[in-house]
């Protein structure tokens, strides 16, 4: 009876907690057990039965061949024709909607309003588009072409969309179209690197100065730096990464400097 009572009051052993190195909690208060090892953490987190599961082990060679045929049939007979139909319909829809009224409206805004992003002491206009607007349909056309590797057609759509967004003063949409236009140029085998670099630079500066969205500017910088690195322009890539360092985020600045 004494043994039973003693075992009932005995506290259960606690599992050591491994804190993330970037955690704001200090090591002195987090209960960190320095004796814990990676092997111990693995044994406490996952059982050996979970680690040794072989998924798809019951599939035969015939099953794998049928899966390949099914995926190939789906892509060639369903997915690609559907995407081609969507691209054709969007092209016809945009061609029918874009007419003299759009050209007249754009010309009027160029005469009576500024169409330069980042004009000092100018409040940012709130521009919103409906889902069936010509501008967003044009952007969707570019996205479809980009996803299926038609980068030349994608650049044409993004270039036309960014002109419309610029005329409307929709700087967030404008910066996004510029960013995708730059990526479309970078993805082409014989791309004009200088033009793509200029588009990426303008996109980053628009995100920073006009939109006040450093997180989007960071994303565009990472994309552009990777594209420049692939072209062997390591100096230009380093300049873009260093420019995004600031006192707003020490962690982001440290990662970019690294």
Instruction: Give the model's pLDDT for residue 157.
Output: 93
Query: What sign does the CA torsion over 24, 29, 32, 35 have?
Result: positive
**Interacting residues of 114 by C-beta distance below 8 A, sequence separation 6+:** 122, 169
Structure-model confidence comparison of residues 18 and 86, the more confident one: 86
d(CA 173, CA 152): 20
Structure-model confidence comparison of residues 212 and 33, the more confident one: 212
Instruction: Say whether pLDDT at 91 is over 70.
Output: yes
Instruction: Give the model's pLDDT for residue 116.
Output: 55
CA 234 to chain centre: 22
Q: Which of 79-83, 96-100, 125-129 has the lowest mean pLDDT?
A: 96-100
Stretch 54-62: mean pLDDT, rounded? 83
Tens of pLDDT, residues 73-90:
999 999 999 999 999 988
d(CA 141, CA 88): 9
Instruction: Give the model's pLDDT for residue 189.
Output: 80
* Closest by Cα among 219, 209, 213, 210 to 200: 219
Structure-model confidence comparison of residues 37 and 18, the more confident one: 18
Domain ranges of the chain: 150-257
d(CA 125, CA 144): 29
Where residue 65 falls among pLDDT bands split at 50, 70, 90?
A: very high
If one counts every other C-beta atom within 10 angstroms of the C-beta of residue 180, the result is 25
Please, what is the average pLDDT of the chain? 77
Instruction: Say whether pLDDT at 54 is over 70.
Output: yes
Instruction: Give the model's pLDDT for residue 112.
Output: 42
Tens of pLDDT, residues 23-41:
555 444 444 444 444 444 4
d(CA 217, CA 222): 9
Instruction: Say whether pLDDT at 218 is over 70.
Output: yes
CA 161 to chain centre: 19
Instruction: Give the model's pLDDT for residue 242.
Output: 92
d(CA 20, CA 37): 14
């Amino acid at each position: 009876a004494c043994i039973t009572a003693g075992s009932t009051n005995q506290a259960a052993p606690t599992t050591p907690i491994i804190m993330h190195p970037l955690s704001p909690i200090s090591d002195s208060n987090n209960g960190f057990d320095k004796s814990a090892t990676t092997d111990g953490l693995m044994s406490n987190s996952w059982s050996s039965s979970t680690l040794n599961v072989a998924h798809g082990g019951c599939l035969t060679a015939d099953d794998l061949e049928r899966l390949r045929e099914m995926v190939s049939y789906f892509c060639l007979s369903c997915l690609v024709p559907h995407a081609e139909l969507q691209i054709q319909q969007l092209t016809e829809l945009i061609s029918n909607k874009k007419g003299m009224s759009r050209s007249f409206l754009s010309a009027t805004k160029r005469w009576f309003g500024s169409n330069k992003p980042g004009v000092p002491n100018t409040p940012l206009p709130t521009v919103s588009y409906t889902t069936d607007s010509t501008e967003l349909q044009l952007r969707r056309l570019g996205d479809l072409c980009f996803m299926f590797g038609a980068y030349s057609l994608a650049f044409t759509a993004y270039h036309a969309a960014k002109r419309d967004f610029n005329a409307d003063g929709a700087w967030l949409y404008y910066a996004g179209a510029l960013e995708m236009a730059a990526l479309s140029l970078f993805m082409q085998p014989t791309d004009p690197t200088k033009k793509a670099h200029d588009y990426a630079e303008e996109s980053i500066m628009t995100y920073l100065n006009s939109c006040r969205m450093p997180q989007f500017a960071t994303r565009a910088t990472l994309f552009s730096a990777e594209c420049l690195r692939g072209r062997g322009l390591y100096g230009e890539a380093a300049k873009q990464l260093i420019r995004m360092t600031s006192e707003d985020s020490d962690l982001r600045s440290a990662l970019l400097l690294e």
